Amino acid sequence: MAVLVIADHDNASLKDSTNKTVTAALVLSGDVDVLVAGKDAKAAADAAAKIAGVRKVLLAESDELGQGLAEAVEATVLPLMGGYDAVLTPATSQGKNFSPRIAAKLDVAQISEIVEVVSNDTFVRPIYAGNALETVQSSDAKKVITVRATAFKAAGEGGSASVENVAAGAASAKIKFVDQQLVKSARPELAGAKIVVSGGRAMGSAEEFSKVIEPLADKLGAAVGASRAAVDAGYAPNDYQVGQTGKVVAPELYVAIGISGAIQHLAGMKDSKVIVAINKDADAPIFQVADFGLVADYKTAVPELMDALTAAGK
Amino acid sequence: MKVLVPVKRVIDSNVKARVKSDQSGVDLANVKMSINPFCEIAVEEAVRLKEKGVATEVVVVSIGPAQAQETLRQALAMGADRGVLIQSDQDLEPLEVAKVLKAVIAEEAPGVVIMGKQAIDGDNNATGQMLAALLDWPQATFASAIELSADKAKVTREVDGGLQTIEATLPAIITADLRLNEPRYASLPNIMKAKKKPLDVKEVATLGVDLKPHLKVLKVAEPAKRSAGIKVETAGDLVANLKTAGVL
């Protein structure tokens, strides 16, 4: 059995979710190749070649792949599938965009957001916002799988795979990239961060959100997250959203400030190693999953926390 | 332009799903069911397009048991014009749903399909993309804004790290994300009116689609429970505890 992993990257570097997806792939097979589809993405391909256990890296480049158009990614992957029994993609918004197309063209099911590989044909995946875990067995000859990266450890470095160019698939003439507005940040990426500081609706405004959450995040070297309520209210951008329908995170430390803990938010962070909740409502559901709870108004608690961190040498 | 909106009947989003004790699935007996929240956003968008005069007819289609007629009536009460139920008691996988929708589209010939990005039961986030691939229509997933002209759809998409705008030549498949709009509540007069709107029911078998399942559910289990920890009194105590836990 040979497995193809489709890398998550920004052309210049590889995202941690790729290493984690390689770990899932290595459970299935020792023959794991990584496809880097992008534009001017040699650096990302070289990084993929260093992942321990990777047999070969395939690099496909075109303008449309650089723009992440799903039709172009699908057209690049399909001709390669003759040589693979499974294709694994991190379940990021990019992966979720193109992976089902590959499944449909191969006439197989997609096994979405797996959190465990039980055997070559059996996988565990969350359903109902993580309120249940479903074990499914696939009868398809080729498996198309997306991987919830936070459920797997990152594969280490130490590999020295070769990088081989492959043809970029043609994009559809019926779709055209117009532009994109990406948020630039010096902070770590939310999905792979070791520490995440999230704010909720209690912040009350976008100004207050940045004034309270950002300095604490920077002090801890953390990524910034938000509850759906805070994003819907416009206090934080959409890609900050942690939850069932936003990003699923599992950092070493998750700090929830002014977040009540709706089911859909808990689904996105309950696998964090240590959870801290600061909320003035002692009955907030977030305290039911928090390892350490501080019942206090964030307006006084966060400055005190900043001082305590400074005193502790942070 | 005719807009087709597929809708799914799912467990109400305010109800917590409970796993059956024999691990055969999630217990849906006597549980409140509603229109899937993302489908509701798609219906709202289609109705707004009709109110703006861009869409001429909004057709909602559901694939499911007889009770899915209630879900279609919910969409009709929001302002959709006509409903189609493809009746099936089998719980279909996304690929099979996409194949059934392809057959419906061959009959209805819509100018655009707007649908939810994911159903909150299976959480697959796959049907729209599969449908686009099967039809060879362009796809614009995770939409937070849609501008429709006679032959093009300009769609702003929520992507990793921000927003992307793409332009699709119609007909196209658009999937709705959370921030596309805030769905209206149906008024009582509109709920009454919806009861008289046309709703066709067809057996799924009449469409001649291969519905063979690809996945077998071996078991459905409850995830490991996380238990509440301790309450600390001060920020200083918090930092001391975090140091002991080794996360600072």
The pLDDT-based confidence of A192 (bands split at 50, 70, 90) is: confident
Q: What ipTM did this prediction achieve?
A: 0.95
B218:A135 CB<8 A: yes
Nearest to B139 by CA among A102, A22, A204: A102
The pLDDT-based confidence of A228 (bands split at 50, 70, 90) is: very high
Which chain A residues are closer than 8 Å to B223 by Cβ?
126, 130-133
Look at residue B95 in the predicted model and tell me its pLDDT.
Answer: 98
Distance from CA of A47 to the nearest CA of B (A): 20
Residues of chain B falling short of pLDDT 70: none
Work out the average pLDDT over A166-189.
Answer: 91
Q: Above 90 in pLDDT, residue A148?
A: yes
Q: Above 90 in pLDDT, residue A88?
A: yes
Residues 37-96, chain B, touching A (beta carbon < 8 A): 93-95
Return the percentage of chain A with pLDDT > 90, whole number. Answer: 89
% helix, strand, coil for chain B, step of 5: 30, 30, 40
Which chain A residues are closer than 8 Å to B134 by Cβ?
104
Interface test with A, best of B24, B165, B214 (most A CBs within 10 A): B214
Q: Is A74 on the interface with B (CB under 8 A)?
A: yes
Distance from CA of B150 to the nearest CA of A (A): 14
Return the percentage of chain A with pLDDT > 70, whole number. Answer: 100
Its pTM stands at 0.94
Q: Which chain A residue is nearest to residue B123, measuring alpha carbons?
A: A127
**Is A277 within 8 Å of A286 (Cβ atoms)?**
yes
Q: Which chain B residue is nearest to residue A70, measuring alpha carbons?
A: B139
The pLDDT-based confidence of A310 (bands split at 50, 70, 90) is: very high
Look at residue B29 in the predicted model and tell me its pLDDT.
Answer: 92
